[in-house]
Amino acid sequence: MLDRDESRTTASLIIPDPVDVDVTRDDAAGVDSDVMTEEMLVNMGPQHPSTHGVLRVVLRTDGEMVLEATPHVGYLHRCAEKIGENLQYFQFIPYTDRMDYLAGMNNNLAFALAVEKLAGLEVPERAQYIRVIFAEMNRIASHLVSMGTYGLDLGAFTPFLYAFRERELILDLFEAACGARLTYSYITVGGVTDDIPAGWLERCVEFLDYFEPKIKEYNDLLSYNHIFIKRTANVGVIPPDRAIAWGLSGPVLRGSGVAWDLRKATPDLVYGRMDFEVCTGKGRMGAVGDCWDRYFVRIEEMEQSVRIVRQCIDQIGGAAGGHKAKMPKILKPPAGETYYGIENPRGELGFLVISDGTAVPYRVKARGPSFCNLAILNEVATDCLLADVPAIVGSIDVVMGEVDR
Amino acid sequence: MTPEQISRRLQDRFADAVRAADASGLHPHAVVEPGRWVEVARFLRDDADLAMDFLRSISGVDYPEDGKLVSVYDLISTRHGHAFAIKVEAPRDNPHTPSVCDVWPAADWHEREAFDLLGIVYDGHPRLTRILLPDDWAGYPLRKDYEFPREYHGIPCSTETNQERPLH
């Protein structure tokens, strides 16, 4: 991405060369040793503009230093897993929409794949392509929100408007296919609910052509913004070994330089045929695994998702089958259990589904990426400056609907 | 390694601690004796061939007929890419399971969640408190015999879920 930026004549005016950016910050430790003040508990949230929903963090502070950050979650808890034990398999799909509500397609997909594995259902090839297209389009939409709101957290208002401008177009495409703009329930057990409408793929290509150059706009506007870099580089560094030990996944894990992506590690659907890269943090603005790295992984992943969608659109014409497998009226998977995890925009979303042979699951457990990624907050935020906490929380990019389930 | 090989390796190393194993199904797993679980967990993580460094999830499951509360640990190796699951069983009337927070820090919130929703007590957890429900909530919702409260601090709760399973 940098290479292309450099080819622009005006690039040098807007985009600072990474080595020119002075990312050394006032030493946080210096603040600590200068003055020891009285400890104070600061309550951040649950109603706070930078917590992306109802996250409450209790901060034990010494002056400007954070000594301990304790997240309190559960404000949106509705025990979706208990609901899952009382509904038929396909009836649970709408509840998955409402977990990570910024990535409804991906959530539908994870649960559908788990149930299909349990029931031994074969999904037609065409349906698999459609699923990948929608999952990747939703990844772009989700990363756009993440990018926009992250700028918002750090005082940059305009990127947010840019992000939502493009996201609207993706939502228009989703609406054309399934009628919904947020909670789709489009990907379902056995395939997708309806085939894509006529002319949809052409519209999608049109969008991709429009969207791809926009990524550079975001970089000009936010990624290489001097203030933004100052606020995010070298802040909230997560070393790779800690990231794995804490079970982080998605851009938060890859931002620490770990090339772990379930689309590559356990390729399902047609991901095995796709040519794309796993984007990792490289410490271009500071240390590997800082907030900027995590942020920038998402920007790079949008480009990769565009690549994947383009390949799917090229290949879908030759795909066999329809949009849905032949399904029994009431699905009763044989008694057994399975765990299935896929790469959501925020990381690994896994479902453990246990069947007792009836039409209702015995147990549905959702392993949400936001929940797991948020758990490391105390370790990262400790010994940071108070003003860095929004930068760290924003870079972890949680959706509380899925943390609390 | 294939699930069969992982299972064999565990049984060779801990013949007395790893019980009945299902390595060929849709969810390859082994059942580990609670008393030896932390030791087995360390072996799973540190053994170079296994290298199960990534704890994906801990799921509590209630089996009232068997009188058991089971913790299901889904593991994957970021080095080798193989996945395997471990089950640790606890008696329902006194559900204690050793905590593996020291082995995988990721277990911290997962264990709190299973404690919160199923009442499994993870011995050795640094801060085993409710995480999703309010601290003063009574009962464990994901147990099969859970009775939904009719009110909480004067807030009336729906009694719809007091019907017997299945609803459909």
Give the whole-angstrom CA distance, residue B74 versus residue B52. Answer: 10
Average pLDDT on A134-147 reads 93
Give the whole-angstrom CA distance, residue B99 versus residue B124. Answer: 5
Q: What is the pLDDT of residue A105?
A: 92
**Torsions phi, psi for A344 (to 5 deg):** -80, 165
Mean predicted lDDT score pLDDT of chain B: 87
Lowest mean pLDDT among A122-126, A185-189, A196-200, A282-286: A282-286
Kindly state whether B83 is in contact with chain A, defined as any CB-CB distance less than 8 angstroms: yes
What single letter denotes the amino acid at residue A324? K
Residues of A in contact with B25 (CB under 8 A): 336-337
Give the whole-angstrom CA distance, residue A161 versus residue B106. Answer: 36
Closest chain A C-alpha to B53 CA, distance in angstroms: 7
Q: Could you tell me if A316 and A309 are in contact, meaning their C-beta atoms sit under 8 angstroms apart?
A: no
Interface touch A339/B56, C-beta < 8 Å: yes
Give the whole-angstrom CA distance, residue A93 versus residue A82. Answer: 14
Interface touch B166/A404, C-beta < 8 Å: no
What single letter denotes the amino acid at residue A316? I
Interface touch B168/A91, C-beta < 8 Å: yes
Q: Which residue has the higher pLDDT, A2 or B94?
A: B94
Q: Buried b / exposed e across A138-157, counting CB within 10 Å, b at 16+?
A: bbbbbbbbbbbbbbbbbebe
Q: What is the pLDDT of residue A234?
A: 87
Q: What is the pLDDT of residue B107?
A: 92
Is B168 a residue whose pLDDT tops 60?
Answer: no
Residues of A in contact with B57 (CB under 8 A): 339, 350, 352, 365, 367
Average pLDDT on A62-67 reads 86
Interface touch B74/A367, C-beta < 8 Å: yes
Is A31 a residue whose pLDDT tops 70?
Answer: no
In the 8-state DSSP scheme, what is residue A198?
Answer: T
What single letter denotes the amino acid at residue A376? I
Interface touch B54/A88, C-beta < 8 Å: no
Q: Which of A336, A350, A375 sits opposite B109 (nearest CB)?
A: A375
Instruction: Mark out the alpha helices in A8-103 (DSSP H runs).
Output: 11-14, 28-34, 80-84, 93-97
Is A353 a residue whose pLDDT tops 90?
Answer: yes
Q: Which of B72, B81, B166 sits opposite A352 (nearest CB)?
A: B72
Most distant CA pair in chain A, distance? 71
Q: Which residue has the higher pLDDT, B21 or A32?
A: B21
Q: Which of A88, A246, A352 sits opposite B168 (nearest CB)?
A: A88
Closest chain A C-alpha to B6 CA, distance in angstroms: 17
As beta bridge partners, residue A351 has A340, A366
Q: What is the ipTM of this complex?
A: 0.87
- Band (pLDDT 50/70/90 cuts) for residue A371 is very high
Q: What is the pLDDT of residue A22?
A: 54
Q: Which of A77, A245, A265 sits opposite B81 (nearest CB)?
A: A265
Is A21 a residue whose pLDDT tops 60?
Answer: no
Mean predicted lDDT score pLDDT of chain A: 86
Q: Which domains does chain A have, with CATH numbers?
A: 2-404 (1.10.645.10)
Lowest mean pLDDT among A92-101, A234-243, A358-367, B4-13: B4-13
Is A57 a residue whose pLDDT tops 80?
Answer: yes
Q: Which of A352, A360, A374 sits opposite B59 (nearest CB)?
A: A352
Is B162 a residue whose pLDDT tops 70?
Answer: no
- Band (pLDDT 50/70/90 cuts) for residue A14 is very low
Is B113 a residue whose pLDDT tops 60?
Answer: yes
Q: CA nearest A81: which of B68, B55, B140?
A: B140
Residues of A in contact with B142 (CB under 8 A): 79, 81-82, 85, 363
Instruction: Mark out the alpha helices in A260-332 (DSSP H runs).
Output: 262-265, 291-315
Give the whole-angstrom CA distance, residue A38 versus residue A40. Answer: 6
Q: What is the pLDDT of residue B164?
A: 52
Q: What is the pLDDT of residue A363?
A: 92
Percent of chain A with pLDDT over 90: 43
Q: Which domains does chain B have, with CATH numbers?
A: 3-132 (3.30.460.80)
Lowest mean pLDDT among A143-152, A281-290, A362-371, B148-157: B148-157
Token duo for residue A114: 């788990």
Q: What is the pLDDT of residue A220?
A: 87
Residue A71: closest CA among chain B residues belongs to which residue? B131
Token duo for residue A324: 């849905």
**Residues comprising chain A, all counted:** 405
Average pLDDT on A353-369 reads 92
Q: Which of A85, A336, A372 sits opposite B106 (nearest CB)?
A: A372
**Residues comprising chain B, all counted:** 168
Token duo for residue A203: 């519209």
What single letter denotes the amino acid at residue B162? N
Give residue-wise pLDDT tens across range A173-182.
999 999 999 9
Is A156 a residue whose pLDDT tops 90?
Answer: no
Lowest mean pLDDT among A155-159, A251-255, B23-27, B156-160: B156-160
Give the whole-angstrom CA distance, residue B38 versus residue A194. Answer: 48
Average pLDDT on A21-30 reads 52
Closest chain B C-alpha to A227 CA, distance in angstroms: 33
Q: Could you tell me if B150 and B144 are in contact, meaning their C-beta atoms sit under 8 angstroms apart?
A: no
Q: What is the pLDDT of residue B155?
A: 80
Q: Could you tell me if A106 and A141 are in contact, meaning their C-beta atoms sit under 8 angstroms apart?
A: no
Give residue-wise pLDDT tens across range A282-315.
888 888 889 999 999 999 999 999 999 999 999 9
Give residue-wise pLDDT tens across range A257-278.
999 999 988 888 888 888 899 9
Average pLDDT on A211-229 reads 89
Q: CA nearest B105: which of A174, A243, A280?
A: A243
Closest chain B C-alpha to A342 CA, distance in angstroms: 11
Q: What is the pLDDT of residue A132?
A: 93
Cα A96 to chain centroid distance, Å, stands at: 15
Residue A334: closest CA among chain B residues belongs to which residue? B26
Is A45 a residue whose pLDDT tops 80?
Answer: no
Give the whole-angstrom CA distance, residue A139 versus residue A298. Answer: 9
Closest chain A C-alpha to B4 CA, distance in angstroms: 16
Interface touch B142/A81, C-beta < 8 Å: yes
Q: Could you tell me if A69 and A59 are in contact, meaning their C-beta atoms sit under 8 angstroms apart?
A: yes
Q: What is the pLDDT of residue B110?
A: 93
